[in-house]
Structure 1
């Protein structure tokens, strides 16, 4: 057994031991008990787990904080009894083992951010067959029996590309920063953008750059491409760290501020705002951390008999030159993702829960823009 296999085996064993310890003092409600009162079913003391590929990134950390806030609210209401997040460390085999252990430990709800679009399907279908409510968000599996919450990644790329075409009046050479090659979300975003550029022959992609989603290596990769094509009129980027790398390089090279697309990475938003007076223009969108809350609320609603949509498509927000000040947070770290609040009424609408009094808070705030009215 090689060192990597040993580390994987130890990690699986540790994960399973953690699950046993966590569930030893938790009694699962009788999911088969019949409600003869005629009243709508009510979720009570649900045992909730979140399986994710990794908790090391800033986005995942912010998502966990966001999700924990809603767990606390639902715990106060008696709907959630326990919650645990499980970090698979980018190991799909470990993620499968963690999910299978949650099945054995009779979790009521499993939320999942899938490390593979297909490899998790069998174990997730096993969970559904065992009576567990399974909701995926962000990175989605392909299984049709799993509820899904996400944004349209193809539309993400298409929206940004449409803006860039308009900003360039339909003509000019551009560089495309597409992120790591072979990842589903990035590939879908680029497919949406490429379809737009194909309709505009005046736009020419002179180089497509793959790089890690990290500012420093992305900046080095872009600097090399920019040196080869110093006359480009714009840059397509579907991700915030990539856009921050592009804009930082443009400023350091010669301050020729061509239009750039991006995401709600605060480092990009702050630099964008600092260069607005010099005429820099951009458009950004977001993969909001509140996808996790919509997923949890969908799971609870389904346990209560609500007919939840099989796929919940969360609209993409737009961060523009006009509303940038409401998102960019000068006093917050670069590696955060500011996002608006999402009112409870909007969550209810997305998950198919009937509107009514007494259904919780007027709005939920996350990130560094807490309390702002939602822009979705």
Structure 2
């Protein structure tokens, strides 16, 4: 709890500082927003936030959608550079070629805000993301609590090699270490997608119908797993948890389809990304890493997030 308070205070201080230092200079700038895939609600939330904040400040936002394709994203960012953007907010479409757009922007003297994912070979000038290690650890501890520390656990992975997948894997494993009788019996990528989550979870259940827990490392995959559990008509109850706090995921928590998710503060992260982009353009000092708290969300506390996403 103390760490969460410190994270929140740090976030508020950073946002207030950046807001105070950049507001005077923001009007008239052009910021490129390169999004991994707008089919994902999480990225749409960020897009909405960046564009709304840009409108308030008189900043032109040019948004491009890579639709999950790294090669497409490289081409789109190169086009943004030729359009002489003042800064780039960049959400890599995957691990492959993730550093190329950052290097190209740097070569053109354009500062880069990496958001949600950071290219290991070419990190952004600042990196904004949820503290996924801490959040996934909290989620594992929740699963341990609601299952009595026993069960057969299946994990649906995101894109291998991306920072959210790596961090959520690390944190969840750390949390599970407290529950030696909660065994991981299956683990397979489902590429962040609901249809893949359904297919992979269905295959896992065919191989092991005694699975008692699914962790989808994104809400979309968790929803796919929940659907697979429903059609399998199992004799045992199955706990399904996700990560992101997508609108669909939050509604599923409220309905009891998912037991829990970790709600990311996507609207706040979008605003912070824009403030950071402007600050970098003006030569201001911006922290290299800006991690935000993700909030364990269950049926007990989900309603406010559905009404007003953080």
Same fold per TM (> 0.5)?
yes
TM-score scaled by length of structure 1: 0.65
Q: Deviations over 1:51-100 (max 9, x none)?
A: 2333344443343222211111111xxxx2x2211233444344334333
Please list every run of 5 or more consecutive structure 2 residues that lacks an aligned counterpart in the other structure. 1-22
C-alpha separation between the residues in 2 aligned to 1:144 and 1:221?
32
Q: Which has the higher contact order (CA 8 A, sep 6+)?
A: 2
Give the structure 2 partner of residue 111 of structure 1.
Answer: 89
Give the structure 2 partner of residue 259 of structure 1.
Answer: 239
Contact 1:51 1:86 in 2 (8 A): yes
Aligned residues: 284
**CA apart distance, 1:114:** 1.8
Contact 2:253 2:259 in 1 (8 A): yes
Please list every run of 5 or more consecutive structure 1 residues that lacks an aligned counterpart in the other structure. 1-39, 329-368
1:159 pairs, out of 117, 135, 138, with 138
C-alpha separation between the residues in 2 aligned to 1:41 and 1:272?
42
**CA apart distance, 1:181:** 4.5
Matched, 1:65 2:65: no
C-alpha separation between the residues in 2 aligned to 1:182 and 1:68?
29
The secondary structure found in structure 2 opposite 1:257 is: coil
The secondary structure found in structure 1 opposite 2:296 is: coil
Q: Deviations over 1:110-143 (max 9, x none)?
A: 1111235573535524534544332111222233
The secondary structure found in structure 1 opposite 2:260 is: strand
Q: What RMSD, in angstroms, separates the aligned Cα atoms of the two structures?
A: 3.0
C-alpha separation between the residues in 1 aligned to 2:196 and 2:29?
43
Q: Which has the larger radius of gyration?
A: 1
TM-score scaled by length of structure 2: 0.77
Give the structure 1 partner of residue 105 of structure 2.
Answer: 127
Of residues 177-186 and 282-291 in structure 1, the stretch that sits farther from structure 2 once superposed is 177-186
1:247–1:122 distance in 2 versus 1, CA, 3 Å: closer
Looking at secondary structure, tell me which structure has more helix per residue. 2
